[in-house]
Structure 1
Amino acid sequence: MSPTSIAIVGFGKIARDQHVPALHDNTAFSLDAVASRNASLEGVAHFRDIQTLLDERPDIQAVSLCAPPQVRYRQACAAIAAGKHVMLEKPPGATLSEVEDLRAQAERAGVTLFATWHSRYAAAVAQARDWLRERHVTAVDVQWKEDVRRWHPGQEWIWEAGGLGVFDPGINALSIITAILPEAFFLTQGELEVPANRQGPIAATLAFSDRRGAAIRAEFDWRQTGPQTWDIHVETDAGPLALTQGGSCLRIGDEIVLEGDDVEYPGLYARFAELIARGESDVDVAPLRHVADAFLLGKRVEVEAFHE
């Protein structure tokens, strides 16, 4: 079969660092266009915006939307109306309602919609999920702490309403635990630390409980310099499990079971190709729902102003 002709819309750091290499190594796709106001890719057709792309390149079959979530809904609407398959970077939208409407639009149009959670495709996540499936979880501790200046230099949109603040990385942890924990869980309380000059939180502490009463605690912080921390520790009736390094390393008890490579975005595009071939969609909003709950239930505490 011929590869699916795909375009990237929104060509920032994540598109360059992750999407382009993953597409380059995937024979199911041909990267044939980029739509971006401020950036282009050598050797690939460039368009200023998605509508111009759709008007001038009707042969494009799929789009990967990497623009900020605040503008992604309108872009996805245009692509679906044009009959294109759509892949959404995380978070899939600025609100739950937007994503649910996109799901309905894609179903009516008969196209694939894929709301991606790249951290779920980290090397050790599937094996952790399988091991926990037969265990009783008693406690979970999530530590997701990184340096915003390192990962989001000059990106003001992440601090604006709809940009999620520290939940931009924190939602990655939530995407993992919603995938690996055998019981549903619910927020019971939270605290959001919001800089005096920003709309989005720079840190958050969340407490959840699952149906069986297991305590789940998550700490997200964007102020950590030096080594970065992306760790999940789970206590069970069969001993502890640790999923560290963003989900690429798995330890069960005292044994390192798996240390894997960075396979997240290749995994996403393999899944997207599979969904297109099957004529299916994959739109799981559970991680975004937990973030929405945090903004609903979390206590806001003002902290010192943040400057780049």
Structure 2
Amino acid sequence: MTETPRQPTPIAIVGVGKIARDQHIPAIAADPRFELAATVSRSGGVDGVENHASVEALLEARPDVEALSLCMPPIPRFNAARAAIAAGRHVMLEKPPGATVAEVLTLDRMSRDANVTLFATWHSRHAAAAGPARDWLAEKRLTGIRVDWKEDVRKWHPGQDWIWRAGGLGVFDPGINALSLLTAICPVPLHLTSATLSVPENRATPIAADLEFSDGEDLTAMAAFDWRQKGGEIWQIEVETDAGTLSLTEGGARMFVDGTERGLEDPGEYPDLYRRFGDLLADGASDVDPLPLIHVADAFMLGRHLTVEPFED
């Protein structure tokens, strides 16, 4: 008997900003398992797609929309996700999955109780080198880790004031990408031991951060995040092992072992996120890992605050 092909899952995007337009909308359009059925946006939404003023309005008007992809900033995301889960809809969370760790754990519990899929995404874990790097490191003894994640905030977050308010994460907004990639490839668990957070005197969140991690034994990992980078982005992780040095560059798009580049297949981070979401929906499963956010929370708990010059956009 020939199986009837499943109809695409109607999905709505909540928060139609730069990341939604640059990444989510093209990824949905390219995936036959999804159909962009609606949006929630106060900025006009997407041409040719039904738009709603609030999540609640969407949920009431469109019971056929099975899944929501939440792309708004982290602070309002919890209430939107909670409403969607309570209405029996599946939810995909842009990173970070919440403003606090407790929010993420609460949503995880709610989704399980409601028997709906919750996918807390970390797009850097879907970089081309993430899987190959994890496999290469699996049987190695790690002797040192260095992370450098530096970019120009004016280029990547122009005029976005929310990132500088409490809960906006500051430089950890990109820095959490590094932490999500590191925790995906590292074969041993790490915990934060110290942090220095450089906070502009006119802002509430850091513009730079220096972190140190340990595995509790003899492995040390150092990370430097900075939003004052000029002359091109630096998104790289270097891992020294007893069998050579692994280097990931360009946010995990490229991989080198002892300076020699390895060839990689690259479907694209966001297309692969929606592939994973489709698989979770088909399996009736969820994927919620708060560890990168826990590391950020630890940095704010342990971090020594250093006041630096004001930042003006």
Tell me the TM-score normalised to structure 2 length.
0.97
How far is the alpha carbon of 1:261 from its aligned partner?
A: 4.4
**Other-structure match for 1:303:** 308
Equivalent runs, 1:193-272 vs 2, <5 Å? 193-258=198-263, 261=266, 263-272=268-277
How far is the alpha carbon of 1:43 from its aligned partner?
A: 0.8
1:251-308 CA-partner distances (Å, limit 9, x unpaired): 0113100355471000100000000110000000000000000000010000011011
Equivalent position amino acid for 1:155 in 2: Q
**Other-structure match for 2:153:** 148
**Other-structure match for 1:123:** 128
CA distance in 1 between counterparts of 2:33 and 2:136 reads 31
How far is the alpha carbon of 1:225 from its aligned partner?
A: 1.9
**Other-structure match for 1:91:** 96
> The residue matched to 2:306 in structure 1 has which SS?
strand
**Other-structure match for 1:46:** 51
1:137 and 2:142 aligned: yes
> The residue matched to 1:7 in structure 2 has which SS?
strand
How far is the alpha carbon of 1:213 from its aligned partner?
A: 1.8
| Moved >3 Å (runs of 4+) | 259-262
1:68-120 CA-partner distances (Å, limit 9, x unpaired): 10000000000001110000000000000001000010001110000000000
Conservation of the 8 A alpha-carbon contact between 1:136 and 1:236: yes
> The residue matched to 1:207 in structure 2 has which SS?
strand
> The residue matched to 1:83 in structure 2 has which SS?
coil
> The residue matched to 2:307 in structure 1 has which SS?
strand
Conservation of the 8 A alpha-carbon contact between 1:190 and 1:206: yes
CA distance in 1 between counterparts of 2:264 and 2:200 reads 37
How far is the alpha carbon of 1:48 from its aligned partner?
A: 1.1
Equivalent position amino acid for 1:140 in 2: I
List alignment gaps of at least 5 residues for structure 1.
none
> The residue matched to 2:263 in structure 1 has which SS?
strand
Equivalent position to 1:13, from 5, 15, 18: 18
- What is the identity percentage for the equivalent residue pairs of Structure 1 and Structure 2? 57
1:1-37 CA-partner distances (Å, limit 9, x unpaired): 0111000000100000000010010001000101011
List alignment gaps of at least 5 residues for structure 2.
1-5
Q: In 2 relative to 1, CA 27–262 (structure 1 residues): closer, same or farther, beyond 3 Å?
A: closer
Tell me the TM-score normalised to structure 1 length.
0.99
**Other-structure match for 1:69:** 74
How far is the alpha carbon of 1:40 from its aligned partner?
A: 1.2
> The residue matched to 1:290 in structure 2 has which SS?
helix
**Other-structure match for 2:113:** 108
1:278 and 2:298 aligned: no
